Amino acid sequence: MASQGPMADEARADLRSIIEEKGHAVDVARKAVARLDDAFAMGALQRTPFIDQALRDLEVALEQDDGQKLGGKSSEASRFILHAIERMLDDA
């Protein structure tokens, strides 16, 4: 069952706002993951199998070695995965 109430509504609105922010997709993705982690920790949103898998996929896209810049493919993957998460937020 999806989370309900003001905290859930606020978390979803925050996440959607972050996902739509202008800027480097990798930076936006990291910010969105941090907000989603906070929402889970506070109990505002519930984890779903889909979101857990999407976060694991996003983690792979955001991996980097010291000094390595993340570019094209990481940005594309981040954008794609974030928008998939956004579509499934109402189930969290």
What's the whole-number mean pLDDT along residues 1-14? 91
Alpha-carbon separation of residue 57 from 2, 44, 47, 52, 77 (angstroms): 22, 22, 15, 9, 9
What's the whole-number mean pLDDT along residues 19-39? 91
Instruction: Give the residue extent of every domain in the chain.
Output: 6-91
- pLDDT value, residue 11: 95
Residue 7 · residue 43 · CB < 8 Å: yes
- pLDDT value, residue 69: 52
- pLDDT value, residue 72: 56
User: Whole-structure pTM over 0.85, yes or no?
Assistant: no
**Radius of gyration of the chain from Cα atoms?**
13
Instruction: Quote the CA–CA distance of 51 and 47 in Å, as a whole number.
Output: 7
